[in-house]
Amino acid sequence: DAGVTQSPTHLIKTRGQQVTLRCSPKSGHDTVSWYQQALGQGPQFIFQYYEEEERQRGNFPDRFSGHQFPNYSSELNVNALLLGDSALYLCASSLGGSTGELFFGEGSRLTVL
Amino acid sequence: SQQGEEDPQALSIQEGENATMNCSYKTSINNLQWYRQNSGRGLVHLILIRSNEREKHSGRLRVTLDTSKKSSSLLITASRAADTASYFCATDAINSGYALNFGKGTSLLVTP
């Protein structure tokens, strides 16, 4: 039973560039949430996707956007990268969007130079 | 914003000792969860306690919840070196929709 998989694991970008991160949820899960974790901090909620729609959004600018595909996989896009976007981006999957247990991937570590 | 605040920020103990971490939060919740994270990798769910529960056990883990004080504690008994990790509490706050609010975490070091 495959867990949550994320790609890439590490990437380096420069300011102003754009990045796309990918996530495949745990088998049987239909909901994907994205979190940003800065160094030394706890994860911060970016948004959640369910039935291919953004169901809820956290306090992040419009430079952060996402998508969910019919197979429930998801992408996180960040435009016009800033130094402050450097962080670990975590994808979490769940069933039906409940706020019970979340299953996290290993994350994508983004460094913006 | 992060609703949960863990205490202490860092904890160092020896194998076999018990480790206690505390979490305080600000608003009413549906449930509170504890997660573990090894070296900046993915988070692993440990335990969930609902707002109408006061105590829950899972293996060597014991979680308590005091909604009147808006606080929770995680006790790890008979700690092992493999328990070395960061531990986060996450609240499912009423009116926060589907977002979990994480604290900054407690960094636990268990030495042999």
pLDDT grade for A99, boundaries at 50, 70 and 90: confident
Q: Tell me what pLDDT residue B5 has.
A: 84
Mean pLDDT of A87-101: 89
When mean pLDDT is compared across A9-18, A48-57, B2-11, the lowest value belongs to: B2-11
DSSP B43-101: EEEEEEEETT-SEEEETTEEEEEETTTTEEEEEE-S--GGG-EEEEEEEEETTSTT--E
Q: Tell me what pLDDT residue A44 has.
A: 97
Mean pLDDT rounded to a whole number for chain B: 94
A3 pLDDT exceeds 70? Answer: yes
B1 pLDDT exceeds 60? Answer: no
- Other C-beta atoms closer than 10 Å to the C-beta of A63 total 13
Counting Cβ atoms within 10 Å, is residue A55 exposed (0-12), middle (13-18) or buried (19+)? middle
Q: Which member of B33, B43, B105 has the closest CB to residue A90?
A: B43
Residues whose CB is less than 8 angstroms from the CB of residue B50 and which lie 6 or more positions away in sequence, other chains included: B30, B31
Kindly report the nearest CA distance between residue A113 and chain B, in angstroms. Answer: 20
A98 pLDDT exceeds 90? Answer: no
Q: Which member of A88, A99, A107 has the closest CB to residue B100?
A: A99
Q: Tell me what pLDDT residue B108 has.
A: 98
DSSP A9-47: SEEEE-TT--EEEEEEPPTT--EEEEEEE-TTS--EEEE
State which residue of chain B sits closest to A100, comparing Cα positions. B48
B4 pLDDT exceeds 90? Answer: no
CB contact under 8 A, A104 and B4: no
Cβ neighbours of A33 in B, within 8 Å = 98-99
Closest to A75 in 3D by CA, of A111, A113, A46: A46
pLDDT grade for B102, boundaries at 50, 70 and 90: very high
pLDDT cut 90: percent of chain A above it:
93
Q: Tell me what pLDDT residue A1 has.
A: 64
Q: Tell me what pLDDT residue A85 has.
A: 98
Mean pLDDT rounded to a whole number for chain A: 95
Three-state secondary structure call for residue A65: strand
Chain A contact probe: residue of B25, B92, B100 with most A CBs at under 10 A: B100
Q: Tell me what pLDDT residue A79 has.
A: 98
B68 compared with B5, residue with greater pLDDT: B68
Q: Tell me what pLDDT residue A100 has.
A: 84
Tens of pLDDT, residue by residue over A30-69, are: 999 999 999 999 999 999 999 999 999 999 999 999 999 9
Tens of pLDDT, residue by residue over B27-75, are: 999 999 999 999 878 999 999 999 999 999 999 999 999 999 999 999 9
CB contact under 8 A, A42 and B99: no
